[in-house]
């Protein structure tokens, strides 16, 4: 019976560690998503430097989250990673640069595709905003 008790204590510690890492991922994922949102808002307001700063913040936090996540927690990374891909794509295209690759962004396949799809809506908004501002050439 002592071996079972020792095993359960070990399992309990492992589960507590997993729960703590999960909570960190959830909390800091919100920070990544918020930074990506501010990046895109800044891009729509022609504030490239502020957008770059927010994107760098998101990249830094996301990198830390990837180091924290284990195989059991990887599913929690898809939403913030997709937002990061979206912000990175919009940032690149508005800046006249090519769409970053999956390897450049160090993204999972699911997050990369979701981020690309989400970026379409933001680019549509950018085109419409440019047309409304009388910048038809930018809209192209």
DSSP string computed for 27-75: HHHHHHHHHHHHHHHHHHTT-HHHHHHHHHHHHHHHHHHHHH--GGGGG
Element (H, E) at 5: helix 2-44
CATH assignment, 2-139: 1.20.58.2140
Burial class (CB within 10 angstroms; exposed 0-12, middle 13-18, buried 19+) of 104: exposed
Radius of gyration of the chain (CA): 19
Tens-of-pLDDT digits for all 140 residues of the chain? 888 878 778 888 888 888 888 898 999 999 999 999 999 999 999 999 999 999 999 999 999 999 888 788 889 999 999 999 999 999 999 999 999 999 999 999 999 999 999 999 999 998 898 888 887 776 56
Q: What is the pLDDT of residue 92?
A: 98
């Amino acid at each position: 019976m002592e071996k079972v008790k020792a095993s359960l204590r070990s399992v309990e510690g492992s589960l507590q560690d997993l729960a703590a890492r999960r909570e960190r991922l959830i909390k800091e994922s919100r920070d990544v998503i918020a930074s990506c949102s501010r990046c895109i808002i800044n891009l729509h307001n022609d504030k490239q430097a502020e957008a770059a700063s927010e994107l760098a913040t998101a990249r830094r936090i996301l990198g830390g989250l990837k180091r924290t996540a284990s195989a059991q927690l990887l599913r929690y990374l898809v939403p913030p990673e997709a937002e990061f891909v979206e912000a990175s794509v919009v940032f690149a295209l508005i800046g006249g640069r090519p769409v970053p690759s999956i390897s450049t962004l160090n993204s999972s396949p699911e997050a990369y595709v979701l981020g690309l799809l989400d970026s379409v809506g933001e680019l549509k908004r950018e085109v419409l905003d440019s047309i409304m501002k009388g910048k038809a050439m930018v809209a192209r």
